[in-house]
């Protein structure tokens, strides 16, 4: 009887451990499935926010190109004294749609920033990028509201696109972190030399100046003051004769310099960083984008400010600036590693 009782006890203990292991495995499986679903939702939110920020940038450019900024009159956040305008024309539709998109995307970005802060707070850039995305989105909205209510000078308005661009870049970089692009290209182990570091920082800061000069061309109505390309007048080459020509040609010279600069950086990176795909391929894409940017800029002039060409021009510079800021992130990672060793 004693031996039979011992056998029963051991059998029960064995069965208990089996059940315990089964429950533990099922719990882990459910936890992994839940985590995967949360990650998938976060990725979709990141993609939607990034596309939404591009829509804000292009919508703002569309408002400027079509001169629809006063489509809702001197009213904000309402439109022509109403929450939703009852009389719709092209200018009202463009301006009001831009405001609605900004509001909806603003909510998405707040959700993304808070979620990323909690889920990816262990990645050192996450909190900074989350703050930047929200702060600069609010700032660009306030500048837009100030323009509607009180009006702003052309040089202040030119900052509007640049500030939106910073918010887009923060969201874009958050999306790259969420999709673990760093791991795919082994960005954690990037080693960048001093020369490339300074060129990366310099060309990124300079690109913002180029963006500002481009926005200034739009806001000062200097887009068609020069009818030819690459010179203002190919049959009469000389210095600009008025402020609008100086703005237009100043932007062209600035664009030429950044194209040459990025081409040189690409040559240097391709020669010395072939083993580091994040660096060499990153600068290859940057070169392609800057060449496409120059091409669309030429088309804007030759097609007499064709709307599609102008919007693609704005889209490409947004992507280029986002990529350059990612290269800055790689520089920061490289420095962080050097401090640790």
From 95, 180, 188, 338, active-site residue: 95
| Predicted confidence (pLDDT) per residue in 191-213, tens digit | 889 999 999 999 999 999 999 99
Q: Which contacts qualify for 296-305: CB closer than 8 Å, 24 or more apart?
A: 297/252, 297/255, 298/229, 298/230, 300/223, 301/223, 301/224, 301/226, 301/227, 301/228, 301/229, 302/229, 304/224, 305/65, 305/223, 305/224
pTM of the model: 0.84
Mean pLDDT score across all residues of the chain: 84
pLDDT at 9: 47
| Predicted confidence (pLDDT) per residue in 243-284, tens digit | 999 999 999 999 999 999 999 999 999 999 988 888 999 999
Helix locations, 179-242, DSSP H:
181-184, 194-219
Mean pLDDT of 83-88: 85
Is the predicted pLDDT of residue 2 greater than 70, yes or no?
Answer: no
> Torsion over CA of 18, 21, 22 and 26, rounded to 10 degrees?
180
Could you tell me if 231 and 225 are in contact, meaning their C-beta atoms sit under 8 angstroms apart? no
Is the predicted pLDDT of residue 27 greater than 50, yes or no?
Answer: no
Encoding tokens for residue 205?
A: 């800061």
Residue 95 annotated as catalytic: yes
Is the predicted pLDDT of residue 180 greater than 60, yes or no?
Answer: yes
What is each CA distance from 63 to 75, 96, 310, in whole angstroms? 16, 10, 12
- Is 3 part of any known ligand binding site? no
Residue 77: asked if its preceding bond is cis (omega within 30°), the reply is yes
Split at pLDDT 50, 70, 90, the class of 187 is: low
| Predicted confidence (pLDDT) per residue in 95-133, tens digit | 999 999 999 999 999 999 999 998 888 888 899 999 999
- Is 244 part of any known ligand binding site? no
Split at pLDDT 50, 70, 90, the class of 175 is: very high
- Asked which of 1-5, 73-77, 189-193, 312-316 is least confident by mean pLDDT, the reply is 1-5
Split at pLDDT 50, 70, 90, the class of 30 is: very low
* % of the chain exceeding 90 in pLDDT: 49
Q: Which of 216, 234, 341 is nearest to 298 (CA)?
A: 234
């Amino acid at each position: 009887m004693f031996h039979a009782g011992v056998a029963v006890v051991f059998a029960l203990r064995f069965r208990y451990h089996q059940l315990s292991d089964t429950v533990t495995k099922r719990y882990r499986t459910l936890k992994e499935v839940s985590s995967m679903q949360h990650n998938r939702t976060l990725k979709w939110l990141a993609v939607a926010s990034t596309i939404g920020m591009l829509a804000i940038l292009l919508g703002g450019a569309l408002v400027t190109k079509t001169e629809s900024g006063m489509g809702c009159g001197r009213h904000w956040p309402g439109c022509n004294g109403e929450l939703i305008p009852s009389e719709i024309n092209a200018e009202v539709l463009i301006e009001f749609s831009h405001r609605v998109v900004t509001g909806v995307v603003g909510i998405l970005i707040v959700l993304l920033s808070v979620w990323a802060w909690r889920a990816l707070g262990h990645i050192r850039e996450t909190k900074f990028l989350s703050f930047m995305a929200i702060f600069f989105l609010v700032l660009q909205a306030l500048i837009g509201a100030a323009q509607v209510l009180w009006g702003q000078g052309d040089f202040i308005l030119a900052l509007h696109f640049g500030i939106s661009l910073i918010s887009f870049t923060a969201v874009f970089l958050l999306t790259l972190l969420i999709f673990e692009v760093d791991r795919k290209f082994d960005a954690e182990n990037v080693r960048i030399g001093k020369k490339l570091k300074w060129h990366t920082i310099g060309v990124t800061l300079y690109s913002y100046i180029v963006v500002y000069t481009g926005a200034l061309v739009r806001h000062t109505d200097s887009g068609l003051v020069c009818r030819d390309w690459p010179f203002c007048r190919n049959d009469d080459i000389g210095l600009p004769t008025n402020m609008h020509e100086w703005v237009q040609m100043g932007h062209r010279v600035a664009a030429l310099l950044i194209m040459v600069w990025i081409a040189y950086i690409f040559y240097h990176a391709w020669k010395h960083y072939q083993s580091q795909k994040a660096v060499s391929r990153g600068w290859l894409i940057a070169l392609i984008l800057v060449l496409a940017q120059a091409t669309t800029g030429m088309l804007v002039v030759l097609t007499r400010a064709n709307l599609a060409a102008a919007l693609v021009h704005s889209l490409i510079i947004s992507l280029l600036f986002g990529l350059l800021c990612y290269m800055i992130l790689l520089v920061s990672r490289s420095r962080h590693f050097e401090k640790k060793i």
